[in-house]
Amino acid sequence: MSVYQLDTIAAISTALGEGAIGIVRMSGPEAIEYANRLFREKDLNQVASHTIHYGHIYREDQSIIDEVMITVLKAPKTYTREDIIEINCHGGLVAVQEVLEACLYQGARLAQPGEFTKRAFLNGRLDLSQAEALMDLIQAKTAKSMSASMSQLSGSLSSKIKHLRNEMLQTLAQVEVTIDYPEYDDVEELSNKALCQTALVVKDEIDKLLNEASNGQLLREGVKTVIVGRPNVGKSSLLNRLTGREKAIVTNIAGTTRDTIEELISIRGIPLLLIDTAGIRDTNEIVEQIGVNKSRQMVNEADLIILMFDQSQALSSMDLELIDLTKDKKRIVLLNKQDLKSGLDIDKLKEAIVGTSLIETSLMTDEGIYEMENQIESLFNKGAIESQDVNYLLNTRHTNLLKQAIRSLDAVIEASQMGVPVDLIQIDFTQAWDYLGEITGESVQDELLDKLFSQFCLGK
Ligand code: GDP
């Protein structure tokens, strides 16, 4: 049940703009009463919880603001664990706003961004990592990152962390007991051993979580993809093909695309953040060299390289340099312009790119594009992203806390091996336990909470 007795808040919960329905939501002890004063057709105090009612919202002067459906949700089985009213308005943006104003006039306070979810957290409905997952869900851009958020929302990260903390707590309890009954000689040694063993196990689990998280990161922000190739191989054409944009910026004069273009697209549900390497377009060799330097930096930061060649032309020194530049990266190699006569020594190319398979493409006929998508899918999807294990999307806050926990656990492991007194080791151990607790919000400061929830959109 509600621990926090709060006032009643109201907000428009649907996106602002023209939509068929707009929803005004109120949450708090007076929500039903305020709605009841605006609604005439029924006494909302008397209706059952989780029911929906047809009627109208009236102005002070008895004129009608809008025809509505009102949902009455009584505490505690609600999102915020408080009484909630949802007014489904039909009259477009103006009506939605006027209904909100009517609620405020009755005494509700305009909710701050994320305040509904904050109440859900404060009242124990969600833990912190679930609340954050909800935020990701609202912002999820692709199907796969959405299902990972869903999974976190259902508590997979929390239950994992809780499990680890529980294990640590048991060890701490065991150590306390041994210290309280020091009739055995080897108390110190036993306690040291127990702390060290648990620290090793927990550290291992956290390492796994962090590994999975790097996949989560890809889902959340997109696989940073850079299309690399010497001038005129078809980079802009590919970019346009993938983003479905106009062919306007493509010409057959090398060096036409200069601005860096970044675009988020989705291939088979995998988000790719496409970054165009402007600057390696010019024909002049010295300028090309600058281009290579510039793309070196982009290549370093990329998760995926699409390396393109023009199969109608002989390999150039720049081609070879780019092959070398990308040799340690996940890369896909396209042999473009298959519709033109061959002018390239394929064996030489194969020798240069050992191990990476070639995809023959033509952006004129669309040849090979399907195959390229298959390869992207198998690189990121089959390999890691779609694996059942990606249940966690860790944000920077989670990652930092996990890393801090690992540092404390490392200190535990090191100290116990050096035979440091148990009570000192315990301090680091407890510190790690606290860090983990901050992830689920079991040990968290108010200031942090305010900051987190303010990132939500209004009405959530
Ligand atoms: P970039 O300099 O690597 O970005 O290359 P662009 O995308 O600007 O392409 C250079 C020229 O090659 C343009 O005239 C494109 O229309 C043309 N082009 C791109 N791909 C193909 C292809 O597969 N076949 C043929 N015949 N021309 C292509």
- Average pLDDT over the chain reads 79
**Residues whose CB is less than 8 angstroms from the CB of residue 316 and which lie 6 or more positions away in sequence, other chains included:** 230
Q: For residue 5, count other CB atoms closer than 10 A to its CB.
A: 8
C-alpha 203/C-alpha 198 separation (Å) is: 8
How far, in Å, CA of 403 to CA of 395, rounded?
Answer: 12
- Supply the pLDDT for residue 314: 94
For ligand 1, say whether the CB of 278 is within 6 Å of any of its atoms.
no
> Please, which residues bridge with residue 223 across strands?
272
Interval between CA 327 and ligand 1 midpoint (Å): 24
Residue 17 has pLDDT above 80, yes or no: no
Tokens of 249: 């910026």
CA atoms within 13 A on the CB side of 22: 22
Cα–Cα distance for residue pair 456/16, rounded to 1 Å: 15
Task: Name the strands in the sheet holding 51-58, side by side, starting at the edge strand that comes first in the sequence.
Answer: 51-58, 64-73, 84-89, 22-27, 9-12, 109-110
User: Phi, psi at residue 413, to the nearest 5°?
Assistant: -60, -45
pLDDT score of 377: 81
Cis? peptide before 76, omega within 30° of 0: yes
- Best residue for ligand 1 mutational test, from 237, 360, 362 (most atoms within 8 Å of Cβ): 237
Torsion angle (degrees, nearest 10) of CA 64, 65, 67, 69:
-120
Cβ 281 under 6 angstroms from ligand 1: yes
Looking at residue 254, what is its pLDDT?
A: 47
pLDDT in tens, 207-241: 888 877 666 666 666 788 988 888 889 988 898 88
Cβ-defined contacts of 276-281 (< 8 Å, 24+) = 276/226, 276/227, 276/235, 276/236, 276/239, 277/226, 277/227, 277/228, 277/235, 280/228, 280/229, 280/230, 280/231, 280/318, 281/231, 281/232, 281/254, 281/255, 281/256, 281/257
Flag whether pLDDT at 146 surpasses 70. Answer: no
Which residues, 6+ apart, have CB-to-CB distance to 164 below 8 Å? 202, 205, 206, 436
Ligand 1 contacts CB of residue 78 (under 6 A): no
| Dist. CA 416–CA 8, nearest whole Å | 53
Model confidence band, residue 388 (pLDDT cutoffs 50, 70, 90): very low
How far away, in angstroms, is 323 Cα from ligand 1 center? 20
Averaged pLDDT, 151-173:
80
Three-state DSSP state, 80: coil
pLDDT beyond 60 at 291: no
Q: Check if 129 has its Cβ closer than 6 Å to any atom of ligand 1.
A: no
Among 5-9, 61-65, 121-125, 223-227, the minimum mean pLDDT is found in: 121-125
pLDDT given at position 141? 55
User: Ligand 1 mean position to 259 CA, how many Å?
Assistant: 17
Ligand 1: residue of 245, 260, 311, 363 to mutate (most ligand atoms within 8 A of CB) is 363
Closest CA to 280 of 314, 316, 240: 316
Please tell me which of 116-125, 306-315, 393-402 the model is most confident about, judged by mean pLDDT.
306-315
Tokens of 173: 């309890």
337 lines ligand 1 (CB under 6 A): yes
CA of 237 to the centre of ligand 1 (A): 6
Residue 235 Cβ inside 6 Å of ligand 1? The answer reads yes
Question: Model-level pTM?
Answer: 0.49
CB 233 near ligand 1, within 6 Å: yes
